[in-house]
């Protein structure tokens, strides 16, 4: 017998109250949803979102309005299984390098977006091991091509990309190889013109603060410097070339070594903007007045060029144009994988100011 103070509990019938309903997740909009909302066929929606056939303007506007209203994004992975492509480009670059990197990235993204591509940005930290890991991670995401600002002395990663048939464009830092598309500045004639301009101010001891030997960019700018000296009939002296890391500290150390010479230079050329900053810091530390005690000009256009006193004379790279051209080359490679590789050199622009010792009114190189 059951005690009277104990209450029996009635269990709910199986399949009814015992089943707790699970709330449905909101479904992702599909092309069918877009078609119903726009009052068109699914095929028409597909042609609009994939741009595979011309559609009447009014119909296209109706589909795009439905896409905007529902937040439809399509299915990139599913489409890639059909088309073999993801409409995605990898951009591998050191984000801690030149301040112009942001301009390069924006230019590449702008050209990519105009062509219907998305850019995956990865930071190489200018380190060869990191760069290889980054490139392999991008390949794992099934990118269709790569724009690469390669780390110094890393040749293997380019060989790996070419061996894997990944369309690739090298940007900014050029190599001597002819089997890959490349975009960068014209270095030799630009540096020659800068050297000649400084020599025209009657300087005969002109130092060069350069990046590491063996890098194409550094070697070409040294060659341009020597060419400019020859054109100005100024003797070449190897001791006046000081190499170092492409950094402010590297530039400062390089200038310090030049100023310790028995006959120090009266003018200095910096091979890039980071080293130019180091030259300015070291000159001020020693109490030297730029433009008076020491003439200075540099390759690259730092953001602070016209903010210092005196403003800095420079040769400015076409940074945005280089980024856009790199993406255009990559798109051409994607369209025609068998086309001949190109190396594109973009001429820099003259930015004459007064750090070179010229008076403000002198505006010709």
Closest by CA position to 187, among listed 16, 317, 310, 82: 317
pLDDT at 30: 82
Task: Please give the tally of structural domains in the chain.
Answer: 3
Range of the domain at 38: 31-74
Q: How far is CA 262 from CA 205, 239, 258, 295, in A?
A: 12, 11, 9, 18
pTM for the model: 0.75
The counts of H helices and E strands in the chain are 12, 12
Q: What is the mean pLDDT of residues 197-215?
A: 94
Q: What is the mean pLDDT of residues 181-207?
A: 97
pLDDT at 85: 65
Asked if pLDDT for residue 211 goes beyond 80, the answer is yes
User: Would you call 18 helix, strand, or coil by DSSP?
Assistant: coil
Average pLDDT, the chain: 87
pLDDT at 2: 44
Task: Give me the residue label for tokens 């790199």.
Answer: 326
User: Would you call 286 helix, strand, or coil by DSSP?
Assistant: coil
Residues 180 and 326 in one domain: yes
Residues 109 and 161 in one domain: yes
* CATH number of the domain that residue 211 is part of: 3.40.50.2300
Flag whether 12 is in a domain.
no
Q: What is the mean pLDDT of residues 35-63?
A: 85
pLDDT at 76: 52
Measured over all CA atoms, what is the biggest interatomic distance in the chain, rounded to whole angstroms?
122
| Dihedral over Cα of 135, 178, 109, 334: its sign | negative
pLDDT tens digits along 323-356: 999 999 999 999 999 999 999 999 999 999 999 9
pLDDT at 17: 44
pLDDT tens digits along 281-301: 999 999 999 999 999 999 999
Flag whether 54 is in a domain.
yes
Question: What beta strand segments (E) does 189-301 contain?
Answer: 206-210, 241-243, 267-270, 295-299
Higher pLDDT, 78 or 180: 180
**Residue 317 — left, alpha, or beta (φ > 0 → left; ψ -120 to 50 → alpha)?**
beta
Question: What is 125-178 written as a DSSP string?
Answer: TT-HHHHHHHHHHHHHTT-SEEEE-PPTT--HHHHHHHHTT--EEEESS--S-S
In terms of DSSP bridges, do strands 168-171 and 181-185 run parallel, antiparallel, or are they unpaired? parallel
pLDDT tens digits along 130-149: 999 999 999 988 899 999 99
Flag whether 208 is in a domain.
yes
pLDDT tier at 151, thresholds 50, 70, 90? confident
pLDDT tier at 18, thresholds 50, 70, 90? very low
Least confident of 67-81, 90-104, 255-269: 67-81
Residues 200 and 307 in one domain: yes
Residues 327 and 231 in one domain: no
pLDDT at 19: 47
Higher pLDDT, 42 or 321: 321
Flag whether 235 is in a domain.
yes
pLDDT at 361: 61
* DSSP assignment letter at 91: E
Residue after which a domain boundary falls, among 74, 95, 129: 74
* CATH number of the domain that residue 51 is part of: 1.10.260.40
Flag whether 26 is in a domain.
no
Flag whether 353 is in a domain.
no
Asked if pLDDT for residue 15 goes beyond 70, the answer is no
Which H/E stretch holds residue 123?
strand 118-123
pLDDT tens digits along 91-109: 999 887 666 888 999 999 9
Chain length of the chain: 365
């Amino acid at each position: 017998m059951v005690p009277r103070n104990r209450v029996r509990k009635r269990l709910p019938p199986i399949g009814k109250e015992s089943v707790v309903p699970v709330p449905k997740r909101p479904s992702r909009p599909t092309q069918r949803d877009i078609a119903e909302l726009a009052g068109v066929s699914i095929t028409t929606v597909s042609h609009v979102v994939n741009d595979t056939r011309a559609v009447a303007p009014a119909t296209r506007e109706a589909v795009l309005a439905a896409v905007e209203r529902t937040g439809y994004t399509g299915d990139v992975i599913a489409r890639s299984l059909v088309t073999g492509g993801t409409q995605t480009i990898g951009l591998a670059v050191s984000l801690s390098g030149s301040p112009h990197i942001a301009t390069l990235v924006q230019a590449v993204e702008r050209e990519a977006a105009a062509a219907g591509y998305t850019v995956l940005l990865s930071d190489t930290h200018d380190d060869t091991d990191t760069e290889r890991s980054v490139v392999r991670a991008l390949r794992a995401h099934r990118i269709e091509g790569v724009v690469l600002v390669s780390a110094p002395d890393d040749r293997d990663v380019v060989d790996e990309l070419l061996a894997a048939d990944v369309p690739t464009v090298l940007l900014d830092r050029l190599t001597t190889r002819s089997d890959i598309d490349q975009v960068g500045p014209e270095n030799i004639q630009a540096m020659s013109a800068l050297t000649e301009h400084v020599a025209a101010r009657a300087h005969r001891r002109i130092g060069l603060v350069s990046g590491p030997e063996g890098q194409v960019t550094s070697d070409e700018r040294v060659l341009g410097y020597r060419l400019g000296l020859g054109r100005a009939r100024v003797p070449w002296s190897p001791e006046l070339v000081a190499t170092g890391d492409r950094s402010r500290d590297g530039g400062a150390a390089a200038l310090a070594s030049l100023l310790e010479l028995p006959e120090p230079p009266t003018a200095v050329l910096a091979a890039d903007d980071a080293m130019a900053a180091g030259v300015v810091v070291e000159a001020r530390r020693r109490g030297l007045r730029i433009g008076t005690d020491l003439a200075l000009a540099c390759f690259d256009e730092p953001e602070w060029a016209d903010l210092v006193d005196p403003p800095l004379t420079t040769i400015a790279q076409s940074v945005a144009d280089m980024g856009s051209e790199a993406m255009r080359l990559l798109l051409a490679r994607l369209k025609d994988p068998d086309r001949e590789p190109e190396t594109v050199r973009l001429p820099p622009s003259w930015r004459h100011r007064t750090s070179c010792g010229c008076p403000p009114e002198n505006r010709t190189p």
